[in-house]
């Protein structure tokens, strides 16, 4: 046991909590119209409450518990039975098992919260809640087991995902796209502008995401060591490069750089470096940041408009596409010289790694898409996913929560 490692992972846990609330909550909250801002804050907040409970009751055991044929953990750690101060050497030999558990909890929390961006401004609250619980249980927990759990079949194949490019970002991003397609466009989409109501909120949230992401990525080293330091540096470098690149592309394409674009680019950079941060060097991280900004810009500003789906806050365009770029980039730029526990990528003579990354990507996309489709159909049949037209026009704050964010008269 190492007290430095334990302290770092505990602090990282709190940093990752900060990403969901207030980070993501305000990043998304600023992007919606004023009549829906509380619905976003509520969804992010209640996800932290709900998934924290789910994780303790059975989620952690499903994801990381003793393996059942490589596909799921069994329930012997339900209620955190046996998950205490004694380290579990399979996951992290130098910190208490309970610290590893709580760190992973925050990942399970933020992943369904990312999906909110796809159904923002038109989802029924009870349907959102049921969807979230089912998705966490039947998509996130198995996937986390496959990629990170001891005995998980993708982990056994040597697939690399340092901090959750696949498990967190591709899974939520693909699910977001499926939801946006199934749910349909917001009323008035394409006919009148649907403008962000408070971009300073979005910038504040984006900045908190960047800050919290140091815990997400560098914390994933599960130790206060050189690999954590490398992850910290690659995270910051890729993010800076992506924010700058997005601003420059906008400048060239539209004539002005925007703060929304710069923040969006930075988040895309954070997403893309997530699977790679513990395996690549800083110069390649910079390159990954530049690439992901260009690809996500294309997805969000050009392709989305042409295809015409309403991914309201670009959960797919940033997390799905960015996670995909990062997962492939890991298979290209990973090097054992950075992390001996990792693998060499294509650039370092190991084409096989790229193949494994590609397989993991295809499996995740297919699994998340199919499961999201099924869960959507179940919830839609039971409760109805989308609010009535009248309620969508009035806004979710008043119709789903009976409260208003802003008063006009005191």
Partner 1 sequence: MKLIIAIIPPHKLDSVKTALEDVDVHLMTVTNVLGQGRQKGVTEIYRGAKEAGGLLNKIRLDIAVNEDFVEPTIAAITKGAHTGEVGDGKIFVVDLAQCIRLSTKERGSAAIG
Q: How far apart are CA 13 and CA 10, in angstroms?
A: 5
Separation of first and last alpha carbons in the chain: 56
- Shorter beta-carbon distance to partner 1: residue 214 or 297: 297
- Shorter beta-carbon distance to partner 1: residue 302 or 393: 302
Q: How far apart are CA 155 and CA 114, in angstroms?
A: 24
Q: How is residue 146 written in tokens?
A: 């496959």
Q: Find the shortest distance in angstroms from Cβ 312 to partner 1.
A: 11
Using alpha carbons only, how large is the chain's radius of gyration in Å? Answer: 20
Out of 191, 256, 340, 390, which residue is the one contacting partner 1 (CB under 8 A)? 256
Q: How many residues bind partner 1 (CB under 8 A)?
A: 17
Q: Find the shortest distance in angstroms from Cβ 191 to partner 1.
A: 11
- Shorter beta-carbon distance to partner 1: residue 300 or 375: 300
Out of 65, 112, 215, 261, which residue is the one contacting partner 1 (CB under 8 A)? 261
Out of 258, 281, 391, 401, which residue is the one contacting partner 1 (CB under 8 A)? 258
Go through 95-134 and write b for each residue having 16 or more CB atoms within 10 A of its CB, e for each that does not: bbbebbbbbbbbbbbbbbbbbbbbbbbbbbbebbbbbbbb
- From 220, 217, 211, select the one nearest 234 (Cα to Cα): 217
Q: Find the shortest distance in angstroms from Cβ 301 to partner 1.
A: 2
Q: Coil, helix or strand for 42?
A: helix
Helix 199-218 with 259-273: angle, nearest 10 deg: 20
DSSP strand pairing (67-68 vs 72-73): antiparallel
Q: How is residue 56 written in tokens?
A: 């303790």
- The reply on whether position 118 binds partner 1 by CB under 8 A is no
- Evaluated on CA atoms 100, 103, 108, 109, the torsion sign reads positive
Instruction: Check: CB of residue 161 under 8 Å from CB of residue 216.
Output: no
Q: Judged by CB under 8 A, which stretch of 60-68, 259-267, 319-327, 388-396 contacts partner 1?
A: 259-267
- The reply on whether position 30 binds partner 1 by CB under 8 A is no
Helix 321-333 with 171-183: angle, nearest 10 deg: 150
Q: Coil, helix or strand for 259?
A: helix
Q: Judged by CB under 8 A, which stretch of 1-9, 33-41, 121-129, 247-255 contacts partner 1?
A: 247-255
* Range 348-387, binding partner 1 (CB under 8 A): none
Out of 54, 230, 236, 264, which residue is the one contacting partner 1 (CB under 8 A)? 264
- Shorter beta-carbon distance to partner 1: residue 250 or 397: 250
- Print the binding letters for residues 310-329 with partner 1: x by CB under 8 A, - otherwise: ----x---------------
Sequence-distant (6+) residues with CB within 8 A of 246 are: 261, 262, 264, 265, 266, 268, 293, 296, 297
- Shorter beta-carbon distance to partner 1: residue 218 or 266: 266
- Shorter beta-carbon distance to partner 1: residue 215 or 261: 261
Q: Coil, helix or strand for 339?
A: coil
- Print the binding letters for residues 173-212 with partner 1: x by CB under 8 A, - otherwise: --------------------x-xx----------------
Q: Find the shortest distance in angstroms from Cβ 302 to partner 1.
A: 7
- The reply on whether position 32 binds partner 1 by CB under 8 A is no
- Shorter beta-carbon distance to partner 1: residue 262 or 372: 262
- The reply on whether position 36 binds partner 1 by CB under 8 A is no
* Range 286-305, binding partner 1 (CB under 8 A): 297, 300-302, 305
Q: Which helix (H) or strand (E) holds 73?
A: strand 72-73
- Shorter beta-carbon distance to partner 1: residue 194 or 385: 194
- Contact residues for partner 1, defined by CB under 8 A: 193, 195-196, 250, 253-254, 256, 258, 260-261, 264, 297, 300-302, 305, 314
């Amino acid at each position: 046991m190492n007290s430095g490692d334990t302290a770092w992972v505990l602090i990282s846990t709190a940093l990752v909590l900060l990403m969901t609330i207030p980070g993501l909550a305000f990043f998304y909250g600023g992007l919606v119209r004023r009549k829906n801002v509380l619905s976003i804050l509520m969804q992010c907040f209640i996800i932290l409450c709900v998934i924290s409970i789910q994780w303790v009751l059975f989620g952690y055991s499903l994801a990381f518990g003793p393996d059942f044929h490589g596909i799921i953990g069994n329930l012997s750690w339900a209620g955190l039975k046996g998950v205490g101060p004694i380290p579990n050497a399979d996951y992290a030999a130098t910190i208490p098992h309970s610290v590893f558990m709580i760190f992973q909890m925050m990942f399970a929390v933020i992943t369904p919260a990312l999906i909110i961006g796809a159904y923002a401004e038109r989802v029924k609250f009870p349907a959102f809640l049921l969807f979230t619980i089912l998705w966490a249980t039947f998509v996130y927990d198995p996937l986390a087991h496959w990629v990170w759990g001891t005995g998980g079949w993708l982990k056994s194949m040597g697939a690399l995902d340092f901090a959750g490019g696949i498990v967190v970002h591709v899974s939520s991003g693909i699910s977001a796209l499926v939801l946006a397609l199934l749910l349909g466009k917001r009323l008035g989409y394409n006919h009148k502008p649907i403008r962000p109501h408070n971009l300073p909120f979005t910038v504040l949230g984006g900045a908190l995401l960047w800050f919290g992401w140091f815990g997400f990525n560098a914390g994933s080293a599960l130790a206060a060591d050189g690999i954590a330091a490398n992850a910290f540096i690659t995270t910051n470098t890729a993010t800076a490069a992506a924010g700058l690149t997005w601003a420059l592309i906008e400048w060239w394409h539209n004539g002005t750089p925007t703060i929304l674009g710069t923040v969006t680019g930075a988040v895309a950079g954070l997403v893309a470096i997530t699977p790679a941060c513990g395996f690549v060097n800083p110069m390649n991280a910079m390159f990954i940041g530049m690439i992901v900004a260009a690809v996500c810009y294309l997805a969000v500003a050009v392709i989305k408009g042409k295809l015409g789906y309403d991914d309201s806050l670009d959960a797919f365009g940033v997390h799905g596409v960015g996670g995909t770029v990062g997962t492939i980039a890991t298979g290209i730029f990973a090097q054992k010289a950075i992390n001996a526990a990792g693998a060499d990528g294509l650039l370092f003579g190991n084409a096989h790694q790229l193949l494994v990354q590609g397989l993991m990507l295809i499996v995740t996309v297919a699994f998340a898409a199919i499961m999201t489709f099924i869960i959507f159909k179940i919830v839609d049949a039971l409760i109805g996913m989308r609010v009535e037209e009248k309620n969508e026009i009035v806004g979710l704050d008043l119709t789903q929560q009976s409260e208003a964010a802003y008063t006009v008269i005191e």
